[in-house]
């Protein structure tokens, strides 16, 4: 059943708020990995949910709200550059793969996680003028595959639970 504008806005707001809470909780629990910038990316579950349960514009809104508000609350102006680059590239990858329709949500999430790291490493390389930062990319990509799979599995389970509740 299609949503009216108020329902759509309420769902965007709820998903963005949940993404912020998940991001906050994630910041509270350090990951014991000696690689800077490694995170689980649980807030991205909300972007995936918006993309699969709402529409592209809603998912983009959730991503933009997540990036901008979390930067205001927990980050710095430099964090905004990194987060925005990662968010935009990963969102573009999610959108293209979902539109293509031949991969499941877990694969979409994995690709998005890898693209997020690619964007952030490229931004760091450009801003710091240090090509050696690119050496971190293979290890970050491996970690992104694991964290992206986790995020995708969580999103798939939420979608499955929500669709079971509709019947």
Sketch out the chain's domains with CATH numbers: 5-166 (1.10.1760.20)
38 with 143: CB under 8 angstroms? yes
Which tokens hold the place of 37? 């910038």
φ/ψ (deg, to 5) at 39 = -140, 160
pLDDT value, residue 33: 72
pLDDT value, residue 167: 53
pLDDT value, residue 144: 95
Which tokens hold the place of 85? 């680059």
- What is the SS3 string spanning 28-93? HCCCCCCCCCCCCCCCHHHHHHHHHHCCHHHHHHHHHHHHHHHHHHHCCHHHHHHHHHHHHHHHHH
- List of the chain residues with pLDDT < 50: none
């Amino acid at each position: 059943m299609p949503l009216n504008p108020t329902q759509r806005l309420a769902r965007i707001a709820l998903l963005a708020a949940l993404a912020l809470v998940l991001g906050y909780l994630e910041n509270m629990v350090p990951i014991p990995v000696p690689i800077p910038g490694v995170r689980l990316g649980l807030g991205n579950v909300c972007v995936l949910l918006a993309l699969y349960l709402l529409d592209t514009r809603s998912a983009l809104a959730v991503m933009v709200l997540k990036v901008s508000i979390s930067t205001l609350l927990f980050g710095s102006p430099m964090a905004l550059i990194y987060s925005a680059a990662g968010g935009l590239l990963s969102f573009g990858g999610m959108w293209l793969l979902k539109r293509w329709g031949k991969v499941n949500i877990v694969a979409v999430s994995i690709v998005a996680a890898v693209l997020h790291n690619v964007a952030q490493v490229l931004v760091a390389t450009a801003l710091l003028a240090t090509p050696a930062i690119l050496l971190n990319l293979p290890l970050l990509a491996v970690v992104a595959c694991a964290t992206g799979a986790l995020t995708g599995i969580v999103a798939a389970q939420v979608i499955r639970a929500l669709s079971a509740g509709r019947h």
